[in-house]
Amino acid sequence: MTISAEKRAYRSIINLILTGQFRPGDFLLETEIAEKLGMSRTPVGKALTMLVSEGFLNKMPKKGCYIPLPTPEDAEQVFFARKAVESQAAAGAAIHASEKELQQLQEIVSKDKEALASRSKDTYSSANEEFHLGIAKASHNQYLEKWVRNIFWRSNVYVFYFDSFYKGKEFSVPQKTPMQHAAIIKAITEKDPKRAAQLMEEHIQWTYENLLLKY
Amino acid sequence: MTISAEKRAYRSIINLILTGQFRPGDFLLETEIAEKLGMSRTPVGKALTMLVSEGFLNKMPKKGCYIPLPTPEDAEQVFFARKAVESQAAAGAAIHASEKELQQLQEIVSKDKEALASRSKDTYSSANEEFHLGIAKASHNQYLEKWVRNIFWRSNVYVFYFDSFYKGKEFSVPQKTPMQHAAIIKAITEKDPKRAAQLMEEHIQWTYENLLLKY
DNA sequence: AGGAACATTAATGAATACATTAGAAAGAAG
DNA sequence: CTTCTTTCTAATGTATTCATTAATGTTCCT
């Protein structure tokens, strides 16, 4: 089973951005990416089209696609939107999650604690992504799941962007994160949608305010 | 200023679906649409790619794009997702709407009442769309706005699909809609985000339950 | 008749070729 | 030296061509 060039392009572009090889404000040239990935412009163009329609990139007609510049206004929009969709994804998960999914979510809490101990940014990042996307998946709502995935990646641009100011300093996992995650999972397991939503909203708000402290 | 072929294709495809020329389950053939619109497959392909990534169409690799079949499960997901994003868009509008936007929203309430009087489906549809998308725009949150637009169109497929069972019968505008709309606008104007969100959620829930009665 | 192997076809997936245009660069006028 | 105009270029926008494949139909054997 060979993966399509379009999907490869899509994944690669996201990686290039999240690993900082392209930075906010940069234009992503179809021609350049196509060459780098050893494919034609066609699949690259479609991948860029997707990323634009997902709000991950902006586009200027006849000019190209670029990574939106982080601004306080956009950050506020991103985290407001995250609260909206992720809190309701958590509520949905409290209603629809299967036993197996609840079990998997429990395991993520353990990973969280390991990440806290390891003080490794990659480990933390990975556990954090599993948590948020795992809940989205457990909501069994394809629309919410898609939106959560998109806005989560978009918000990661902020996390990585601000972290770049702190290169060299020791990475500090926010201490309260694992406890907040655990509390959310608990509410979902107890099938308490209102509480799960409330806790998720507070958690994201807390993440946002934590980010603002870095200005 | 000439509009791009890609945008024309995008608009046209949405119209073809919402006007019932393509029906749920149908495959949208690039080649057929390209011919119909007098353009090549390239811009049509990109338009389809967008619609898929917006959740408006589904896609099977190497097979094509099709309009998802309406199912009770999907309808529940659509309206749950609508409640999530539209209620928070209403909250955002209560916080961020400009004076001019508030004025425009007020005018829509008048249109609503005219639509109720005219008993015209098109007039009602148009006023309804202006209301929901107008609030999304007034939220000044580009992510919520995009999601609201996408899920609103998706939910319209349901409205039109179920209405098709009632061809020939007189179209009846839901009587309570204008009052609900007016109440939401009032909350937004009074800058009461919590109340705006609550009312919007109830309005969408009511719309959903009304739809279910048609089974 | 039934079904496995093969051929046909009609669609998407991808590469290439061509058209258009925004922006840079160069040159002319003031 | 600045500013306006022109030219050039490099990128996107679109069309076209080639490759691949899922679906269907056909043949031939049992």
Q: What is the DSSP string of B56-120?
A: SSEEETTTEEEPPPP-HHHHHHHHHHHHHHHHHHHHHHHHH--HHHHHHHHHHHHHHHHHHHHT-
Extents of the domains making up chain B: 5-66, 72-212
pLDDT over 90 percentage in chain A: 76
Which nucleotide minimizes the distance between its C1' and the CA of A7?
C13
What sign for the dihedral angle of Cα B198, B200, B206, B212? negative
User: Residue A45: is its pLDDT beyond 60?
Assistant: yes
For chain A, the maximum distance between any two Cα atoms, rounded to a whole number of angstroms, is: 52
B124/A135: higher pLDDT? A135
Mean pLDDT throughout A202-215?
A: 89
What does the CA dihedral B58, A136, B130, B16 come to, rounded to 10 degrees?
0
User: Residue A170: is its pLDDT beyond 70?
Assistant: no
pLDDT for the residue A175? 78
Of A81, A92, A147, the CB nearest to B80: A92
Interface touch B85/A80, C-beta < 8 Å: no
Min Cα–Cα distance to chain A from B11, Å:
14
Min Cα–Cα distance to chain A from B20, Å:
23
Interface residues of chain B, partner chain A, Cβ below 8 Å: 4, 45-46, 49-50, 53-55, 61, 77-78, 80-81, 83-85, 87-88, 92, 140-144, 146-147, 151, 154
Q: Which two tokens stand for residue A144?
A: 């919410």
Mutate to test the interface with B, among A30, A42, A60, A80 (most CBs of B within 10 A): A80
Interface touch A88/B84, C-beta < 8 Å: yes
Residue in chain B nearest A53 by alpha carbon: B50
CA-to-C1' distance for B146 and C15, Å? 33
User: Residue A166: is its pLDDT beyond 60?
Assistant: no
pLDDT tens sequence for chain B (215 residues): 789 999 999 999 999 998 889 999 999 999 999 999 999 999 999 999 999 999 999 999 999 999 999 999 999 999 999 999 999 999 999 999 999 999 999 999 888 888 877 777 788 888 999 999 999 999 999 999 999 999 999 999 888 777 666 555 555 557 788 999 999 999 999 999 999 999 999 999 999 998 888 76
C-alpha triplet B17, B18, B20: angle, nearest 5°: 65
pLDDT for the residue A12? 97
Q: Is A200 helix (H, G, I), strand (E, B) or coil?
A: helix
Could you tell me the pTM of the whole model?
0.93
- Whether B5-66 shares its CATH topology with B72-212 is answered no
pLDDT for the residue A212? 87
| CATH class of the domain whose range is B72-212 | mainly alpha
Tell me which architecture the domain covering B5-66 has in CATH.
Orthogonal Bundle (1.10)
Pairing of the two strands B27-28 and A58-60: unpaired
Q: Tell me which chain A residues have a C-beta less than 8 angstroms from the C-beta of B84.
A: 84-85, 87-88, 144
CB count within 10 Å of CB B66 equals 17
pLDDT over 70 percentage in chain A: 94
Burial of A189 (0-12, 13-18, 19+ CB in 10 A): middle
pLDDT for the residue B158? 86
Question: For residue range A70-79, what is the model confidence (pLDDT) as tens digits?
Answer: 999 999 999 9
Alpha-carbon span B39 to B12, nearest angstrom: 12
User: Residue A102: is its pLDDT beyond 90?
Assistant: yes
pLDDT for the residue B124? 85
Q: How confident is the model at residue A165 (pLDDT cuts 50, 70, 90)?
A: low
User: Residue A171: is its pLDDT beyond 80?
Assistant: no
Q: How confident is the model at residue A150 (pLDDT cuts 50, 70, 90)?
A: very high
CA-to-C1' distance for B69 and C2, Å? 35
